[in-house]
Structure 1
Amino acid sequence: MKNARHLLVEKQLHETISISPQATVYQALQLMAEKNIGAVLVMEGDKLVGIFSERDYARKVVLMGKTSAGTAVADIMTRRLVCVPPTMLVDECLALMTEKRIRHLPVLDDDSVLGVLSIGDLVREKIADQEYTIEQLSHYIHGR
C-alpha cells in the first residue's frame, strides 16, 4: 500500500500552488481556474496558514452576500487544517478525509509543505490498487 509521499511523487507537480492571505478571493479563483484545481493553499512565506476551496467560496462569499473582488482570502479561508505526514497510508488518508468531511489534504513533513492530495488522487490510487489485486487473483485462479 502506498503512502502520501508516493502519491505526491506520482502527481509530478513541481510546485506547490499557493496564494497569500492578503490576495482577494477573485485572485484565488483565477489561480484555481488557471491550474484546474478545487483548492489552493494559503501561505505566508513558507508557513501554511489555511486553505481556500470552492466550498469556502460557495458558503462564505456567495451565500453571505460578499464580493469576490472585495473580500480577502484570509477573511474566509479554512484555518483549522487537517494535515498528514508523508508516511500516512492511502487508506488512512481516505478514512481521515471521510471522517472530517474534507476534500483536500495538505501533506507536511514537520512544518514543511510537500503538497496536497485531493480525494480524487486517493480514490484513483485505491481503484488502481484494487484493479491490480483483481488482476493478480485472476492470474492465480486461471493459472496464467
Structure 2
Amino acid sequence: MKTARQLLQEKSRQAIFSVPPNATVYQALQLMAEKDIGAVLVMEKDKLLGIFSERDYARKVVLQGKTSAGTPISDIMTKRVIFAQPSQTTDECMAIMSEKRFRHLPVMDGDTVLGVLSITDLVREQIAEQQFMIAQLENYIHG
C-alpha cells in the first residue's frame, strides 16, 4: 500500500494551485476552470490559510446571493483545513475524506504543502492495487 507522499510523486500533475487570500472568488474559479481542478488552496507565500472548492462556491456564494467578482476568497474559504501526513497510507487518506465528506486532501510535511490528493487519485490507486492483487492471484492459481 502506498503512502500519500508516494502517490503525490506518481501524479502526472504535481503542481500546487493556489490563490492569495485577497483574490476574488471569480479569480479562484478562473484558475480552477483553467487547470480543470475542483479545489484550490488559499495561501499567503508558502503558508496554507484555507481551501476553496466547488462545494464552497455552491453553498457560500450562490446560495447566499453573493457575487463571484465582489467576494474575497478569504470570506468564504474553508479555514480549518484537514490534511494528511506524507506517511499516511492511501487507505487512511480515503478514510479521512470519507468521514469528513470532502474530495480534496492537502498533504503537508510540517508547515510545507507537498500537494493535494483528490478522491479520484485515491480511487485510481485503489483500483490499481486491486488489479495487481487479482493478477497475482491468477498467476498463483494458474501457476
Rounded to whole Å, the distance in 2 between the matches of 1:102 and 1:54 is: 11
Rounded to whole Å, the distance in 1 between the matches of 2:35 and 2:99 is: 28
TM-score relative to the length of structure 1: 0.97
**Aligned equivalent of 2:65:** 65
Rounded to whole Å, the distance in 1 between the matches of 2:34 and 2:15 is: 14
Q: Structure 1 residue 90 and structure 2 residue 90: aligned?
A: yes
Q: Structure 1 residue 123 and structure 2 residue 140: aligned?
A: no
The residue correspondences of 1:18-37 to structure 2 (distance < 5 A) are 18-37=18-37
**How much has 1:14 moved relative to structure 2?**
4.7
Q: Which runs of 5+ in 2 are unaligned?
A: none
**How much has 1:86 moved relative to structure 2?**
0.5
Rounded to whole Å, the distance in 2 between the matches of 1:111 and 1:60 is: 27
The residue correspondences of 1:35-46 to structure 2 (distance < 5 A) are 35-46=35-46
Rounded to whole Å, the distance in 1 between the matches of 2:85 and 2:14 is: 19
Runs of 4+ in 1 over 6 A off after TM superposition: none
Which one-letter code corresponds to 1:129 in the other structure?
E
TM-score relative to the length of structure 2: 0.98
Rounded to whole Å, the distance in 2 between the matches of 1:54 and 1:87 is: 28
Percent of aligned pairs sharing the same letter = 69
**How much has 1:16 moved relative to structure 2?**
1.1
Aligned residues: 143
**How much has 1:15 moved relative to structure 2?**
2.6
Q: Which runs of 5+ in 1 are unaligned?
A: none
Which one-letter code corresponds to 2:57 in the other structure?
Y
1:52-108 CA-partner distances (Å, limit 9, x unpaired): 000000000000000000000000000111111100000000011111111110000
Instruction: Supply the RMSD in Å over aligned alpha carbons.
Output: 0.8
**Aligned equivalent of 2:56:** 56
**Partner SS state of residue 42, structure 1:** strand
Rounded to whole Å, the distance in 2 between the matches of 1:14 and 1:57 is: 24
Q: Structure 1 residue 138 and structure 2 residue 138: aligned?
A: yes
Which one-letter code corresponds to 2:10 in the other structure?
E
Which one-letter code corresponds to 1:105 in the other structure?
L
**Partner SS state of residue 71, structure 2:** coil
**Aligned equivalent of 2:99:** 99
Rounded to whole Å, the distance in 2 between the matches of 1:62 and 1:35 is: 22
